[in-house]
Amino acid sequence: PVISLYNHKLAPDADDLAALDIMLFDVPDVGSRFYTYLWTLTHLMEACAKQGKKLVVLDRPNPISGNMELAEGPMLEEAQASFIGRWPMPIRHSCTLGELALYFNQTRQIHCNLEVIKCGGWERNQFQPDWGVRFVPTSPAIQSFESMLLYPGLCLLEATNISEGRGTELSFCAAGAPWIKGESIAGILNEMGLDDVLATPIHFTSTDPNTKYCGEKCSGIALEVREPAYFQSVSYGLILIRLIKQLYPQPFAWKPYITMVNPTGQQHLNKLLGIANSEALFELPLPQFIAAVTRLTQCRGWKEEVKEFLLY
């Protein structure tokens, strides 16, 4: 039988595992803390440890590279733990799921009988286009390498009334709303020249009834990252939200994001960023805001923290 571990049930129970000799985990990732496949893996580890089952992780490369210099915080505070971030780690972690499984198995004392089978031919500084294989979507909203690359920053739009492009072919590669003037936003962003990202004014309309502004024409921007090896997605996403909030203070609003694991949808930005009082960050004057973003997104200790668990 097929057993979902996404909505009402996050981990297999004893009956689910009773007839198994071994559990295989062969699942892709996108390199971001709030992408839930990692946390499903941790629930599996706990369940297998409890039932005495061996878990084998068939590891895969990190598609947005394993370069630790590109890792970005904030580090998650345990008070903000949820299904989109159970334990302290940065948003962009630069690890593989196999490496994180080894790390959490030891640091969280899960005691799972765990084996990680390495993937071959991958170097840490490679991105998905460097692999020489076609892109396969990892979920309905991640339809391209570009959406993976932008996801750590543009997913923060979930906590606002700005569309992140869901329901279109530009999911997580765009930002817009009926009340935004895309030309203005694009002009400012391109003049700032952040990380050599090109912002293009666009109009889009979502056809998915579960998304913001379904059926309404949105004006906004599409983003093209020209230099992935230098792109800091979380910083870019924070600056983008700050800019739109400054230009459109009245239409802009923080918005609940309702899911099965967060039925009220409240404090979604806290859960995404992993820090308390996150909305207050955007009330700071610009110089203090930039300083806070720089401080929060740096995670220099992460490489040292996971060093002994890195496989590549």
Q: Average pLDDT for residues 102-126, to the nearest whole number?
A: 98
Task: Give the Å distances, CA to CA, from 293 to 72, 122, 278, 282, 298.
Answer: 10, 31, 11, 10, 8
- What pLDDT score does 181 carry? 97
- What are residue 131's phi and psi, to 5 degrees? -75, -25
- What pLDDT score does 261 carry? 84
Other CB atoms within a 10 A radius of the CB of residue 208 amount to 14
Cα 91 to Cα 266: distance, rounded to the nearest angstrom:
20
Q: What's the pLDDT band for 7 if we cut at 50, 70, 90?
A: confident
DSSP for residue 277 = T
Q: Average pLDDT for residues 296-304, to the nearest whole number?
A: 96
Q: What's the pLDDT band for 8 if we cut at 50, 70, 90?
A: confident
Residue 130 has pLDDT above 90, yes or no: yes
Name which of 25, 227, 257, 29 is nearest 142 in CA terms: 29
- What pLDDT score does 41 carry? 99
User: For 166-203, how does the pLDDT look when each residue is reduced to its tens digit (9 = 90+)?
Assistant: 999 999 999 999 999 999 999 999 999 988 899 999 99
- What pLDDT score does 96 carry? 99
- What are residue 25's phi and psi, to 5 degrees? -120, 110
User: Which residues, 6+ apart, have CB-to-CB distance to 62 below 8 Å?
Assistant: 29, 31, 94, 95, 96
- What pLDDT score does 195 carry? 84
Residue 20 has pLDDT above 90, yes or no: yes
- What pLDDT score does 186 carry? 98
Percent residues over pLDDT 70 in the chain = 100
Lowest mean pLDDT among 4-13, 29-38, 74-83, 127-136: 4-13
Q: Average pLDDT for residues 269-275, to the nearest whole number?
A: 98
Average pLDDT, rounded, for the chain: 97
Percent residues over pLDDT 90 in the chain = 96
Q: What number of CA atoms fall less than 13 Å from residue 281's CA on the CB side? A: 26
| Token pair for 235 | 């910083």
User: For 42-90, how does the pLDDT look when each residue is reduced to its tens digit (9 = 90+)?
Assistant: 999 999 999 999 999 999 999 999 999 999 999 999 999 999 999 999 9
- What pLDDT score does 102 carry? 99
Report which secondary-structure segment, H or E, holds 251: none
Q: Which domains does the chain have, with CATH numbers?
A: 14-255+295-309 (3.90.1150.140)
- Separate counts of helices (H) and strands (E) for the chain: 9, 6
Cα 101 to Cα 106: distance, rounded to the nearest angstrom:
9
- What pLDDT score does 252 carry? 99
Helix boundaries (H) for the chain? 14-17, 37-51, 97-107, 145-154, 182-192, 233-247, 268-273, 286-297, 300-306
Q: What number of CA atoms fall less than 13 Å from residue 24's CA on the CB side? A: 3
Contact yes or no for 182/134 (Cβ under 8 A): no
- What pLDDT score does 311 carry? 99
Q: What's the pLDDT band for 1 if we cut at 50, 70, 90?
A: confident
- What pLDDT score does 139 carry? 95
